[in-house]
Amino acid sequence: MVVVACVGFFFYYRARHSAVTVHAARVERHDIRSEVSTNGKVEPTEDFQAHAPFPGVVEDIYVDQGDHVKAGQQLVRMDDAAARRDVAAAQATLQAAQLTLQAMQQGGTQDERLAASNDLTAAQSQQQQAEASLASLKKLQAQGAASANEVASAQQRLTDAQTRVRELQTRRTSRYSADDIRTQQAQVAQARATLAAAQQAYSKAVQVAPFSGTVYSVPVSQYDFVQMGDTLLDVADLTRLQIRAYFDEPEIGNLAVGQPVKIVWEAKPLQVWHGHILQAPTTIIQYGATRNVGECIITVDDAKGDLLPNTNVTVTVTTRQDADVLSLPREALQTDGSSSFVYRIVGDRLVKTPVTPGVVNLTRVEIKQGLQAGDEVALGSLSETDLRDGMRVKVKP
């Protein structure tokens, strides 16, 4: 038992007092920045997408993908035969509706007005004859040569003739009601709108560039049949681009307008573009099936036509940057609840030293208080032994 106790004490003493080999680093002054990266999609800020104004055949394409075009330059032409027919048909419909309205406002067409005038003249003539007949019968009745029934019949014929004249006169001046006029006016307005739409579609049979830019997409070919609204080509000013980027919810609190951004595109891995945040996230949206993100708009400051719209890029935002500050490798920083500390190497012993960290990135951490330049701190042991205050150590060369 004594031998066992001695052996145990020996190994305990050796483990307690032998030096543990550790990696170490010195506190130095560095420029340190905090960054956050995510994915985004390139968008032109000035973009023109030519759409088919009507169903038909692509008659001619005057440009190729990658061409630089000037404002007003012709881009693509559609076969406009059907559009011309639509315009002609709409013009005929409008003219007919306008003539009908004019006729209604004047009491009918010329033939209808002439027929109504003839009918009124005939009715007035019948009224005059009825008046003469009644007067004659009244004289005969006074002489005893006509009966009261004959006079009454003559009076009824005159009344009927007067009623007919009044009806024809009313019809001549008020043949159509106000509702009839309004209905026809609505038809005229509809016909006019149809003509305007047909003319607008016809005017777009030839699509021209609204501004100077680059043709970056031509999804159709000559003689293709396209439906109304199909995309014919895309033009953009590739020197004016922005990126719509999506940052995970925990990261958006560090984003602010004006922060610098580095942009990388896998298709050109050796090239880097630069920008800044134009619009920080204002709300949280769902992106894909699992991500809750904030949408951020980033302006590309040095676009020169070599970054294409709709490409997927990686953006890295510098959320904070401090120059010439004390820092050390991040793995040296230890935490205990809300407190932070490091193991400073003093002689051959570890000294647990509280520190106040500042900017933290993937590799380094700023130390605001607790250390001085040149201090040596332990990063970890080679044997994976847990570090502790007072431990004897030796630094790996």
Q: What is the pLDDT of residues 81-100, one digit of tens each?
A: 888 999 999 999 999 999 88
Cα separation, 173 vs 167, in Å, equals 10
- What is the residue-level pLDDT of the chain in tens, covering all 397 positions? 544 444 444 444 444 458 999 999 999 998 888 889 999 999 999 999 999 999 999 999 999 999 999 999 999 999 998 889 999 999 999 999 998 888 777 766 666 666 766 776 777 788 888 788 878 878 877 887 778 888 788 788 888 878 876 776 666 666 677 788 889 899 999 999 999 999 988 888 999 999 999 999 999 999 999 999 999 999 999 999 999 999 998 899 889 999 999 999 999 999 999 999 999 998 888 887 788 899 999 999 999 989 999 999 999 999 988 889 999 999 999 998 889 999 999 999 999 999 999 888 888 999 999 999 999 999 999 988 899 999 999 998 8
333: phi then psi, degrees, rounded to nearest 5: -80, 130
β-strands 47-51, 231-236: how paired?
antiparallel
Query: In sequence order, which ranges of 174-265 are alpha helices (DSSP H)?
Result: 178-203
Cα separation, 194 vs 265, in Å, equals 48
For the record, the structure tokens of 144 come out as 């005893």
Strands (E) in 210-311, as ranges, are: 213-217, 225-226, 231-236, 241-248, 260-264, 272-279, 284-287, 291-300
Cα separation, 244 vs 251, in Å, equals 16
Residue 237 per-residue DSSP state: -
Cα separation, 393 vs 368, in Å, equals 26
CA 391 to chain CA centroid, Å, is 63
Residue 362 per-residue DSSP state: S
Tell me if 226 sits within 8 A of 55, measured CB to CB: yes
Query: In sequence order, which ranges of the chain are alpha helices (DSSP H)?
Result: 2-17, 81-105, 110-142, 148-173, 178-203
Tell me if 387 sits within 8 A of 337, measured CB to CB: no
For the record, the structure tokens of 72 come out as 């007003």
The model's pTM is 0.60
- Helix (H) / strand (E) containing 346: strand 339-346
Residue 7's pLDDT is 41
Residues contacting residue 231 through CB under 8 Å, at least 6 positions apart: 49, 50, 51, 217, 219, 220
Tell me if 41 sits within 8 A of 311, measured CB to CB: yes
In sequence order, the β-bridge partners of residue 328 are: 365
Residue 243's pLDDT is 97
Residue 172's pLDDT is 62
